[in-house]
Amino acid sequence: MIREWSPCLFCSGDRSDPDHDLHCDGRQGTIEETLARGPVLHPPHNGTDTSIAAAYSVEGPVVETLRRRVLITIEQRASTCDELEAALGLSHQTVSARVWELRRLGLVADEGLRRQTRSGRAAKVWARVWGGV
């Protein structure tokens, strides 16, 4: 059975999650947990039943490990999602979801540069924000 998603306006987490108050202090964009203490965001989804199921299937240590791998790679070199996919051998859905989470945590930001993807399209370059959450 799939749980009803109730998004929090402050942290983008699920307000109906029994542990929500452990992750969100109710201030716009402020998350009390850090990457060192475990995952703080539910993986993003588009609201369809299959997307919600996929998001919940990768919670916990798996998503934390993936998020850390993406962050470490961006720390070594500001990267597009396409570059991260190639470097880490991960799918676009996995990489873009982890970048979205890192951006919400204030750990990465759009550097303002664009680089060409393998398909020839322009893509945002994501850089590490030092001093983030």
Q: Does 50 reside within a domain?
A: yes
How many domains does the chain divide into?
1
Q: What is the C-alpha separation between 4 and 67, in angstroms, rounded?
A: 25
The residues, ordered by sequence, that sit 6+ positions from 73 with a Cβ below 8 Å of its Cβ are 79, 84, 87, 88
Q: What is the CATH number of the domain that holds 50?
A: 1.10.10.10
Q: Does 117 reside within a domain?
A: yes
Question: Going residue by residue through the chain (133 aa), what tens digit of pLDDT does each one get?
Answer: 455 656 665 566 676 776 666 666 554 343 334 444 444 566 677 778 887 787 777 666 788 889 999 999 999 999 999 999 999 999 998 999 899 999 988 999 999 999 999 999 999 999 999 874 4
Q: Does 2 reside within a domain?
A: no
* Residue span of the structural domain in which 37 resides: 20-128
Q: What 3-state DSSP class applies to 13? A: coil
What are the φ and ψ backbone dihedral angles of 87, each rounded to 5 degrees?
-70, -35
What are the φ and ψ backbone dihedral angles of 69, each rounded to 5 degrees?
-60, -45
